[in-house]
Copies of this chain bind each other. A is one copy, B any other.
Amino acid sequence: MMRLLKGKTVVNHEIPELKAQVSRLRADDVEPTLAVIMAGKDPASELYLKAQKKMAVRIGIRQQNYFLPSNASQESFLSLIRELNQDSKIHAILVELPLPAHLDENLVTQTISADKDVDGMTDVNIGRLWRGTSVIAPATAAGIMTLLHAYRIQISGHFVVIVGRSQIVGRPLSALMLRENATVVIAHSHTHDLKDLTRQADILITDIGIPKLITSDMVKKESVIVDVGINRARGRLCGDVDFERVAPLVHAITPVPGGVGPVTVISLMQQVIDLARRQYGR
């Protein structure tokens, strides 16, 4: 019997736990606070920001948004980050990407203090992730783990194929999977015989942005499919997986939309709490 891995169900299940964590911090006069910086206008970022704000309010996290004009100078951007790094009332900093083209994304990201880098983008946090000394990872990667844990999907010893090697999904996710004793492979545009690989996957995760690339002959029966792709085809949102044909074959699959997306936001909030707790010395 195929299970639908519904993000919203996981979110509703997680919210009371996160609220309780926030309450404990607030009882000690710590108000977990997330600073979000956005430069210029980007419709996707604005949607994401709105979803964050809504969730923050629900959980009791304070979210402070900083909007910079699209022609903001690099220096003004960096000095805002440095100010937030110093501000003890701010526990977590997120920069909405992509940035306007004249800004150096790398420099901006690496200026965030590792201890406030809630999206796990700094070199230090990538290092901590691979050495297993930190729980902070890019929110989408963290969200996928939250989703799989919530549905009690076995990870240890399973063969996990991740299609897509981005810095925010494929790479950090492979570190998280390895930490939980999965056997992990990252496939990408240079991979030969993709089908041979995906057909072996106990857990298949796709983040490629090609509608319906994963067809029914590319999956293993009774496997688990996590579709991170969000594509628009004929005016409708769809993932990287041919959902209609693949879903009947597998043990569990995420819908698009409604799968990984909602969990990303709750995982981000969990990481805000984790950072606040750590800065408070808990």
Contacts and interface: CB of A to CB of B under 8 A. Distances in A.
Interface in A115-138: 122-128, 130-131, 133
Interface in A153-185: 156-159, 165, 167, 171, 178, 181-185
A192 interface: yes
A165 B190 contact: no
Contacts of A165: 178
Number of this chain's copies in the assembly equals 2
Contacts of A126: 123, 126-127, 130-131
A78 B173 CA distance: 33
A60 B30 CA distance: 57
Contacts of A171: 130, 178
A191 B183 contact: yes
Interface residues of A, number: 32
Q: Which of A126, A133, A167 has the most CB of B within 10 A?
A: A126
B191 A187 contact: no
A130 B178 CA distance: 15
A183 B187 contact: yes
A106 interface: yes
A13 B219 CA distance: 46
A212 interface: no
A199 interface: no
Contacts of A190: 156-157, 181-183
B184 A185 contact: yes
A125 B114 CA distance: 14
A263 interface: no
Given A126-B126, A184-B185, A192 B159 contact: yes
Interface of A: 106, 114, 122-128, 130-131, 133, 156-159, 165, 167, 171, 178, 181-188, 190-192, 197
26 contacts: A106-B133, A122-B127, A123-B123, A123-B127, A123-B133, A124-B127, A126-B126, A126-B127, A126-B130, A130-B130, A130-B167, A130-B171, A156-B190, A157-B190, A157-B191, A159-B192, A165-B178, A171-B178, A178-B186, A178-B188, A181-B188, A183-B185, A183-B190, A183-B192, A184-B185, A184-B186
